[in-house]
Amino acid sequence: MNLDQRGRPILRVIRGKAGVWEVQEAGFETPLSYFDSAQDAKDYAEDIAGAKPGIIVEVYSEDGRLQSTVCGRLSDAYNQYSLIRAPSSRTRDPSER
C-alpha cells in the first residue's frame, strides 16, 4: 500500500475509464469497488477510513482534480492496518455489465 508523507495509507475516489466511480487503494491498479455515483464511492471509502486508523481518502472530480481530502480516525498503530481486498456486495466490474 502506498503511504502519504506521514506514513498513512491512501484511498482514492476517482472516475474510472469505464465511466463509473472507483475506490482505489493507492499503489494498486485494481479498484476495491465500483459505483454509479461519486457520493456512493465516497461513502464507501469513508466507511473504510472510519474503521481503520489513519487512512486518508482523496476525492477527485470528474476532470481528475483533487476535490477534497478526509482523514479517518488516527491511531499510534500506523503499521497495523491492511485493507481486505475481497469483493463486496457493492462491487461490480464495469466490464461485466
pLDDT (tens, 9 = 90+) of the chain, 97 residues, equals 455 455 678 999 999 988 999 999 998 989 999 999 999 999 999 999 888 878 899 999 999 999 988 876 544 443 333 343 434 445 455 555 4
State the pLDDT at residue 6.
54
Contact in structure between 34 and 88 (CB atoms under 8 Å):
no
The number of beta carbons lying within 10 Å of the beta carbon of residue 57 is: 23
Contact in structure between 9 and 26 (CB atoms under 8 Å):
yes
DSSP 8-state symbol, 57: E
pTM score over 0.75: no
Contact in structure between 13 and 21 (CB atoms under 8 Å):
yes
